[in-house]
Amino acid sequence: MDYISGLPKVGDLGSIIVVVDRLSKYATFIAAPKHVTAERTAHLFFKHIVKYWGLPKDIVSDRDSHFIGVFWTELFKIFGSKLSMSSSYHPQSDGQTERFNSMLEEYLRHFVRGTQKDWVKLLDVAHLYFNAQKSSFTNKSAFEIVTGSNLSSLTLLTPHKSVRSPLARNFSQEWKQNVDIARSCLEKAQNQMKKYADQNHRFIEFNAGDLVMVKVPDPRLSKSSRRRDPRLMQKYVGPLPIMKRIGTVAYRIELPPWWKIHNVFHVSQLKKYSADREDDARNQPSRPQLELTKTKEKVAEAILNHRVTRTTKCEHTEYLVK
């Protein structure tokens, strides 16, 4: 059991509680508040885990303050569940479990990054698709191990044009798109972990206060930057200080206020900053490279008219303003 935090906030939700069955590797993803209390965690645990599977005999977690506090320890003492603790930085687990946990966090962070503000609504799809994938060790999916039966196909059986209900067609198309997103994110996570496993490589670790270079997020570049030869553009910007570590493979970075993006980056997007000892000028930004997304906010004086446009996916309201 663990938290994945530092996610884009949606309402009061900004973290995911991850609960994994040790035998089957069946994973449950629970959207939780950004600053969740031990009491709220317990309510969510009983709602999403105990209601379906009963009380576990043993709960393994790191030494997060939620899991070592009086409320949490006394609660499960009453129910008779053993609490086992491990350090998040030195997990007392076999290599297979450690790799699985890292891949799981990779998957969820890719998924959240791809869906942004919709990640809470689409988390159920991520949950279902993850548990439907067959393991290379057992040749069975976690869903099959837990339930004893295969999960029915997630593909669409009926051609869209033959469906008489537009709402049903739109629902099925949206479902397929969400499954495709989950599939893509899982493939990215698996490929990332395979890459580092093949290279016998461990992710570099940073501490709070370390200076790092951050890979430039290309989609955020201004139009003027896009006209430049990409081979001549700066690939990394910085140095920028690390604020804190988030989970096992991500860090919160102190970004300039005009960078309108989420400030948690996967470690693969960072590299260690090394000062130039021969030319100190290179250690200072030579041009405002970080002001790539700086924009001026405009305030509408009045709404003159509006219209509603509809597509197969959803409808949009457009406004004519002064």
Q: Which residues pair with 167 in a beta bridge?
A: none
Domain boundary among 150, 176, 198: 198
Same domain, 283 and 234: yes
The pLDDT of residue 294 is 47
The pLDDT of residue 113 is 67
- Owner of token pair 């086992």: 84
The answer to whether position 227 is within a domain reads yes
Same domain, 90 and 176: yes
The answer to whether position 107 is within a domain reads yes
Residue 101: which CATH number?
A: 3.30.420.10
Same domain, 187 and 38: yes
The pLDDT of residue 93 is 43
Cis? peptide before 256, omega within 30° of 0: no
The pLDDT of residue 229 is 42
Q: Among residues 31, 22, 54, which one has the least CA distance to residue 111? A: 31
The pLDDT of residue 314 is 64
The answer to whether position 203 is within a domain reads no
The answer to whether position 303 is within a domain reads no
> Domain count of the chain?
2
Backbone angles phi, psi at 4, to 5 degrees: -115, 110
Same domain, 178 and 244: no
Provide the residue range defining the domain that includes 133. 2-198
The answer to whether position 231 is within a domain reads yes
Same domain, 33 and 126: yes
The answer to whether position 90 is within a domain reads yes
Same domain, 27 and 145: yes
Backbone angles phi, psi at 76, to 5 degrees: -80, -15
Same domain, 180 and 225: no
Residue 314 tokens, joined: 């959803």
The pLDDT of residue 20 is 86
Domain boundary among 198, 220, 247: 198
The pLDDT of residue 47 is 93
Domain boundary among 198, 226, 249: 198
The answer to whether position 282 is within a domain reads yes
Same domain, 242 and 166: no
pLDDT surpasses 90 at 50: yes
Condensed to tens digits (0 to 9), the pLDDT of residues 65-124 reads 777 788 988 999 999 988 887 644 334 444 444 566 677 777 777 777 666 677 787 788
Q: Among residues 253, 250, 221, which one has the least CA distance to residue 234? A: 221
Same domain, 20 and 98: yes
Statement: the pTM of the whole predicted model exceeds 0.75: no
Same domain, 49 and 194: yes
More confident residue, 4 or 289: 4
Contacts of 183 (CB under 8 A, 6+ apart): 129
The answer to whether position 171 is within a domain reads yes
pLDDT surpasses 90 at 46: yes
On average, the pLDDT of the chain sits at 74
Same domain, 134 and 24: yes
Pairing mode, strands 13-20 and 270-272 = unpaired
pLDDT surpasses 80 at 58: yes
| Lowest model confidence (mean pLDDT) among 113-127, 160-174, 269-283 | 269-283
The pLDDT of residue 237 is 78
Do residues 187 and 107 touch, judged by C-beta distance below 8 A? no
| Lowest model confidence (mean pLDDT) among 20-24, 142-146, 273-277, 284-288 | 284-288
More confident residue, 186 or 253: 253
Same domain, 15 and 128: yes
Q: Residue 156 is which amino acid?
A: L
Rounded Cα gap, residues 305 and 320, in angstroms: 5
Residue 154 banded pLDDT, cuts 50, 70, 90:
low
3-state secondary structure the chain: CEEECCCCCECCEEEEEEEECCCCCCEEEEEEECCCCHHHHHHHHHHHHHHHHCCCCEEEEECCHHHHCHHHHHHHHHHCCEEEEECCCCCCCCHHHHHHHHHHHHHHHHHHHHHHHHHHHHHHHHHHHHHHCECCCCCCEHHHHHHCCCCCCCCCCCCHHHCCCHHHHHHHHHHHHHHHHHHHHHHHHHHHHHHHHHCCCCCCCCCCCCEEEEECCHHHCCHHHHCCCHHHCCCEEEEEEEEEEECCCEEEECCCCCCCCCCEEEHHHEEECCCCCCCHHHHCCCCCCCHHHCCCCCCCCCEEEEEEEECCCCEEEEEEEC
